[in-house]
Amino acid sequence: MPNASSPPAAPVARRLLLTCALLSGVAVSWDPSLAAAAGPLAHYAGIHPLNPHMGAFCVIEVPHVHAEWPPDIRVYRTLPNKTQVFVGDPVALGYDGPTQTYFGPHPLVFHDLSPAETIYCYLRGPHHHTQPPEPPASFVKKDGVNWFVGTFPPEFDRDYSRNDWINEVRGIGTYQPPKVDIAAAPPGYHLPAVLDTQAVVPVVAPAANGGAAGGKKSRKPGGAVTPVTPPPPPSKGVGKASKPADKVSGAAPAGNPAP
Amino acid sequence: MRGTRLRHRLPPVVVMAAFCALLAGGCRRKHIDGTVAVDAVLSAWGAKGFTTTEIKSIEPDAWSAGACSRGPLAELDVLMCEYAADETLVVGDGKIVKDWEQDGVATGVVVRNGRTLLAIADTKKIDASGRTIMRLIEAFRAAR
């Protein structure tokens, strides 16, 4: 029979363990240096929006590291060495520094990467980048807008389907893309051929009375069809691949042609 | 015969001056010829309004360098090392990032100006936008 004068050991041990756990939690939460947790760091090539892509920006223009990984990889390209390269429209996501205006897809050169990398931007309409147009001879600047009049290599077409999702990213707040449309393009400008091969399906408006007798299926005048953007490919690269909710309503999609 | 003992005694004022110089970190920093001097970078930062008095010479062996200085600046951790050879600079560069992976850092950047390496670490998320870090980098890159 247990000795009634001595308390049982198990509850005491549990209380001791709980106390130690609580104290550890307090120590961790009080130590400001642990705000930056140890572990694999995300390598960034240059400037990029800060999590959660609601306007804050990291303006470090050279390769650097953060503890936080990108929350939306649609606006990044992940290099073989896992470096995250921001290829989106910085103004659309809150950047307020100097930029250049572009229309349509074009090459983007990152000189601070070793070796220097040329990456293709797949934004289809007017947008911004901090990089100047390169190579300069392949661009025509007209009314402040850079138009790529060079040749797209085979890898541009090859990588199109897994990078086109960048056009789904919406700008924050009241962002509006530059007011430029393709009618203003200089002679010799053409969109890449791969952009013309989107799947198209007829759009049939639903019957007004649910298909009852006498109802007609309506079609758009002239049998017009609406292009359907292929669904985004599965998430790739490192970091979280969550698609952020659309930003403040009314904000224009970054990179889409102005209405 | 009683031997003579020469007593050399430095004047007190000289002793005090040397002591004060040591305290203020005023000992001339070791410098590797052919590299951008840490002192030149500190002067450039001082001209930009940064207080650099806390950056002191440290033992460089851990980073395979010839000379290193380290200290807090604008609540960031700054490390600068001068290298006699590119090969050792690459080793030092790699070690810095490896240490950050082990110890944790909110933001870290390593840049070079010739064979002088600058590493800036923000462990407290003081400079989330990186604006202060970029000011330091621009002055570092412009130093000769």
What the block records as the tokens of A258 is: 């102005």
pLDDT in tens, B100-133: 999 999 999 999 999 999 999 999 999 999 999 9
The full 3-state SS of A72-105, as one line of letters, equals: CHHHEEECCCCCEEECCCCHHHCCCCCCEEEECC
- Checking if the pLDDT of A41 tops 90, the result is yes
pLDDT in tens, B73-98: 999 999 999 999 999 999 999 999 99
Note whether B130 contacts A: Cβ–Cβ < 8 A: yes
| Dihedral in degrees, nearest 10, Cα atoms A136, A137, A138, A142 | 70
Q: Which carries the bigger pLDDT value, residue A79 or residue A241?
A: A79
Residues making up chain A, counted from first to last: 259
Note whether B109 contacts A: Cβ–Cβ < 8 A: yes
For residue B135, the chain A residues in CB contact (below 8 A) are: none
pLDDT of residue A220: 37
Give exposure, A220-241, as e/b (b: 16+ Cβ within 10 Å).
eeeeeeeeeeeebeeeeebbeb
What the block records as the tokens of A201 is: 């399906």
Helix (H, G, I), strand (E, B) or coil at B41: helix
pLDDT in tens, A177-209: 999 988 999 998 988 888 865 544 444 555 544
- Checking if the pLDDT of A82 tops 70, the result is yes
Q: Say yes or no for a CB contact (<8 Å) between A59 and B105.
A: no
The full 3-state SS of chain A, as one line of letters, equals: CCCCCCCCHHHHHHHHHHHHHHHHHHHHHHCHHHHCCCCCCEEECCCEECCCCCCCEECCCCCEEECCCCCCHHHEEECCCCCEEECCCCHHHCCCCCCEEEECCEEEEECCCCCCEEEEECCCCEEEECCCCCCHHHEEEECCEEEECCCCCHHHHHHHHHHHHHHHCECCCCCCCCCCCHHHCCCCCCCCHHHHHCCEEECEECCCCCCCCCCCCEECHHHCEEECCCCCCCCCCCCCCCCCCCCCCCCCECCCCCC
Beta bridge partners of A126: A103
- Checking if the pLDDT of A9 tops 70, the result is no
Partner residue facing B129 (CB), from A38, A57, A67: A57
Percent of chain A with pLDDT over 70: 61
Percent of chain A with pLDDT over 90: 49
Contact at 8 Å (CB) between A150 and A136? no
Contact at 8 Å (CB) between B92 and B63? yes
Partner residue facing A62 (CB), from B109, B124, B131: B109
For residue A61, the chain B residues in CB contact (below 8 A) are: 134
- Checking if the pLDDT of B49 tops 90, the result is yes
| Residue linked to tokens 């309503």 | A249
Lowest model confidence (mean pLDDT) among A225-239, B22-36, B52-66:
A225-239
CA distances from A181 to A125, A163, A186, A218, B111 (A): 7, 22, 11, 31, 40
Contact at 8 Å (CB) between B71 and B121? no
Q: Which carries the bigger pLDDT value, residue A255 or residue A165?
A: A165
Confidence of residue A26 (pLDDT cuts 50, 70, 90): very low
Q: Say yes or no for a CB contact (<8 Å) between A59 and B101.
A: no
Given the cut 0.85, state whether the ipTM is greater than it.
no
Confidence of residue A12 (pLDDT cuts 50, 70, 90): low
DSSP single-letter state for residue B84: S
Confidence of residue A174 (pLDDT cuts 50, 70, 90): confident
Residues making up chain B, counted from first to last: 144
CA distances from A239 to A48, A68, A76, A132, A242 (A): 14, 8, 11, 28, 9
Phi-psi region of A137 (alpha: psi -120 to 50; beta: other; left: phi over 0): alpha
The order of strands in the sheet holding A145-148 is A126-129, A100-103, A145-148, A139-142
| Residue linked to tokens 């109802």 | A215
Partner residue facing A59 (CB), from B101, B124, B134: B134
The CA distance from B77 to the nearest CA of chain A, in Å, is 12
B positions 10-69 inside 8 Å of A (CB): none
Q: Which carries the bigger pLDDT value, residue B103 or residue B7?
A: B103
Among B77, B93, B99, B109, pick the best mutation site for testing chain A contact (most A Cβ within 10 A).
Answer: B109
pLDDT of residue A46: 94
* Closest chain A residue by Cα to residue B121: A65
pLDDT in tens, A59-71: 999 999 999 999 9
Contact at 8 Å (CB) between A142 and A186? yes
